[in-house]
Structure 1
Amino acid sequence: MQSEELQQFNLIAITKVGIKYRKHIIIFTLIGAVLGIILSFVIKPKYEAFTIFYAPANSSISKSVLDNNNLEGLMEFGSEEQTDQMLQILNSDQIKEKAIQKFNLIEHYGIDKNDKYVITKVKRKFESNAEFKRTDYLAVKITITDENPDYAANMANYVGYILDSLKTNIQQQRTKQAFEIIKIQYFSKKKELDSLQNVLTGLRQKGIYDYLAQSEVLTIAIVKAETQLQEEEARVKVYDAYKSKLPDTTIIRAKGRLAAAKAAISSLKPRIETFGKYSGDYVENEALFEKQKEALAILQNKYENAQVDFGQSINQKFIIDKAQKPEMKSYPNRLLVVLITTLVAFLIGLFMAIYNDIILPNFKKA
C-alpha cells in the first residue's frame, strides 16, 4: 500500500513539475522539433537497390548434358548449402576489392587517398552500405545503399555479376586440375596403344593376321596336303609295279601329282613354322591391345567430359529480381527523425524540470 502511495505521489509530483515548467518543456520540445526538421534536411539521403537470385546446384555440365541428357541437375536451385557458399563468397575480400576498384569508391566515399588506413576505411564503408543475406525462401539478396541511386543499382548488379565470375573461376580451377590429370593419362594410354598397334602390324607383316582363323586354315591345309602326298606316293608305287602294263602318260601324270603334293607341303612348312613362332606373341599382344583399347575408350570419354567442363561455363545464379534505379530514398525518414528529436527534447526538458524540483532538493536534504 505504501509503495502504491509512493508511486502515486511520484507520478503526481512529476505531473506537477511538468505543469509547473510546461513553458520550458514546450520550448525544449519546439526546439527539438525545429532541430529535427533541420536535421532531416541536412542528412544526405540514401537510396537502396537490391537484386535477388537463387544459387544453382553444383552440377557437372558433361554429366548433366552429355552423359545422361538429363537437365534436372542443372535446373535444381535454392539448396541451403549452395546459398551459404554464395554468401561466403559475397563476404570475401575479392568482392570488396573488385567493387572498390570498379566504382572508384575511395573517391566516391570521400576518403583521403593518402590516409594510412585508406583500404581499411573504404572496405568498412562498403560493408556498412552493403548487405548480403539469405531470404526466407533460401534465395540470396544483395542490397546496396548509396547517396547516388545509379551507383546503388549498378553496384548491386555488378556484385552479382562478379559473384558469378568468381564462382566460375573457383570451379574452373578445380576442373583444370582434373582435366590435366586425365589428359596425361589419356595420351599416355593412347601412346601405349599405338605401340601395341605397331607390334601387331609387324606381326601381320610376318604373316600372322588372325590366330583362330589361320590356325584352322593351316591345320586343314597341312592335313589335306599330307593325305594327298601319301595317296600319290602309294599310287606311284602301284603304277611302278605295273608300269609295263600301263601307258606312260598315266605314270607321268601320277608322278606329276606326287611332285605337286610334295611342293604343296614344302610351301606350307615355312608358313606353319612362322605361324608357330609368332602366333603366341600375336595372341598375347592382341589380347592386351583389346584390353587397352577398352581402357582408352573409357579415358577418352572422361577426357572429353573434362574438356567440356573446363572449356565451358554456365550461369552460377538464377536471377529473380535485377537491381533497378530506386526512385525514392530509403534514408532518412524525415518524419521519424522529427518525431525522435522532438521526443528526446521533450524528455530532456522534463528531466531537467524533475532534477531541479525533485532530485536536487533531496540531495541537499541528504
Structure 2
Amino acid sequence: MPVKRDGLDPVPDLRSHREEGGVSRIKFPLGIGAWLVTGYDDVRSVLGSTDRFSNDYRQVAGMVGITDAETPGGLGMADPPDHTRLRRVVMPEFTGRRLARLGPRVEGIVREQLDGMAQAAADNGGVVDLMSAFALPVPSLSICELLGVPYADRDEFQRLSTARFDMLEGAQGALSAITDALPYLDKLVKAQRAEPGEGMLGRLVTDHGHELSDAELSGLADGLLTGGLETTTSMLALGTIVLLERPEVAAELRADDSAIEKFVEELLRYLSVVQVAFPRFAREDVEIGGQHIAKGDVVIASLSGANRDPALAGADPDTFDLHRGTTRHVAFGYGAHRCVGAELAKIEMRTAFPALVRRFPEMRLALDAAEIPYRKRSIVFGLERLPVQLGPDHG
C-alpha cells in the first residue's frame, strides 16, 4: 500500500491510514512486519532522530537473508559518527557556488536534448518518447558531469539504478541489485585514484583521499548517482504529465520566469516520487503517534503520506496548486539524512521545465491518459515510457 498509486495520487488507503492515526503495523515486502508512519509530524519525528532510529543497511540485508552483505558505504545507509564524517566531506561539493558552475552545462544539456527530441519526432510522425529522449538523459548527463563519470557508462549504471527500486522482484532482489553495483563503482573509484579528474569524485580523491576508503568513495558515488538519476528522471516525466493536464500552469511557466520556483516546490510535494524513506530501526523503545514501538522494530516513513497531510499542505492537499505557498515538504527527506543533492535536482528541474514548455507549446500525450504505463510497485514512483506528440512543427 505505501508504494502503490492511483494515477499520480497515492492510493486512498494511505489517506485512510493517516486519518485513522497514522501509525500501525503492516506487512512490508521485506517478509517481516513493520510499522508504517504516514502523518507529517510523526514522519518528521522519525526521520529527524538519529539517536532513536538507525539507518544501517546491513540490518535490512540480514533480515532478508543476505548475511554477507557489504555495506554500500553511502550517506543514506550509515549512522553517526560515520554518517556525520562523510556528510561533512561531501556537503561543500553541493554549495551554491560550486553548483552554479554546473548551471550553464545543465542549460546546454537541456538544449541538446530538446534538439534531439525535435529530430526524433520529425523522423517518427511527430511522436517521441519523452522518457528516453529527455527525462532520463537530462539528469544522467548532469550527474555524470558533476561527478566526472564517463557518459559511456550510463546504460550500465541505469540498469543497476532502476533494479534496486523495483519491489516487484521482492526486497531481496532490490537489495541484491545494490550489491551488484559495487564492483562497477569500485572500478570507477580505482580509475579516479589513479588519475583524479575535474569532477566531484576526483576532487574528493584529491582533497580527502587519505580520509576515505575505496568502499566509502564507492558508496558516496552510488548514493549520489542513484539518488540523482532515478528520482529526477521520474520528476521530469511525471511533472510533464502534470503540465499537460494543466495547460494554464504551462502557460504561466512560459510567461513568468518567477513561476518556476513555485512550480518545482509544489511538484515535489504533490508527486513525492520517493514514496518511502529507507527503513529505520528503533534503537530503543519509543512512542510514535500513541503507539509503542519496541527496540529493534522496523519503521517505514511514508513521504507521500506526509506530503499529502493537511497538517502540511492545508486545504485540498490532494490537489496540485501552483499558488499554495511555501511548504516544508519532506520530498527530499528530513534531518541529518535529507538528500544532499536536493539543490542539484532543483537546478535541473528549474532549467528543464520552462525550456520544455516554451520549445514545444503544443505538446500533448500520444496515448490515452488511462494507458500511461506507471510503475505498479516501486519505492521511486515513475513510469516506463511517455509517448508525446510534439505538435505540428515538431519544434
TM-score (norm 2): 0.18
- Larger relative contact order (CA 8 Å, sep ≥ 6): 1
Compare the two structures and name the one with the higher helix fraction: 1
After TM superposition, the score normalised by the length of structure 1 is: 0.19
Larger radius of gyration between Structure 1 and Structure 2: 1
